[in-house]
């Protein structure tokens, strides 16, 4: 429903941020939680290629949950993975 891009942020980060939010809703978890399982030796290796390459399986996507139901998601991109996760966590905490 909303998208905001900080001045100077990479244009390519728009799609990544949206895909992080999408992935967190689609799999009802934080995107970082998918990292281990989707590695080459993981049980769902190749998942990141599903959905036409739309899935993001690295930190920065968090579902927004209220009363046990997912109401939306936050996706953050353009910083380091650690920064993206930190910002997404702050946004989710504010929700």
Range of the domain at 70: 13-94
54-86 pLDDT, tens digit per residue, is: 999 999 999 999 999 999 999 999 999 999 999
Instruction: Read off the CATH number of the domain in which 58 is found.
Output: 3.30.450.150
Q: How far apart are CA 15 and CA 39, in angstroms?
A: 22
Question: What total number of domains does the chain contain?
Answer: 1
Report if residue 7 sits inside a domain.
no
Q: Please list, residue by residue across 32-62, b when 16 or more beta carbons sit within 10 angstroms of its beta carbon and e when fewer do.
A: bebeeebeeeeeeeebbeeeeeebbbbbbbb
Report if residue 74 sits inside a domain.
yes
Report if residue 2 sits inside a domain.
no
pLDDT for residue 40 is more than 90 = yes
pLDDT for residue 38 is more than 90 = yes
pLDDT for residue 94 is more than 80 = yes
Report if residue 20 sits inside a domain.
yes
Report if residue 4 sits inside a domain.
no
**Confidence label for 8 from pLDDT (cuts 50, 70 and 90):** confident
Q: What's the length of the chain?
A: 95
Scan for tokens 């989707």, then name that residue: 38
What pTM was estimated for this model as a whole? 0.91
């Amino acid at each position: 429903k909303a998208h905001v891009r900080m001045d100077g942020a990479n244009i390519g980060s728009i799609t990544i941020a949206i895909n992080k939010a999408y992935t967190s809703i689609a799999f009802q978890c934080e995107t970082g939680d998918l990292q281990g399982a989707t590695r080459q030796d993981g049980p769902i290796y190749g998942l990141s290629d599903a959905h036409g390459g739309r899935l993001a399986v690295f930190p920065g996507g968090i579902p927004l949950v209220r009363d046990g139901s997912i109401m939306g998601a936050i996706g953050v991109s353009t910083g380091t993975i650690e920064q993206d996760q930190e910002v997404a966590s702050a946004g989710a905490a504010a929700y």
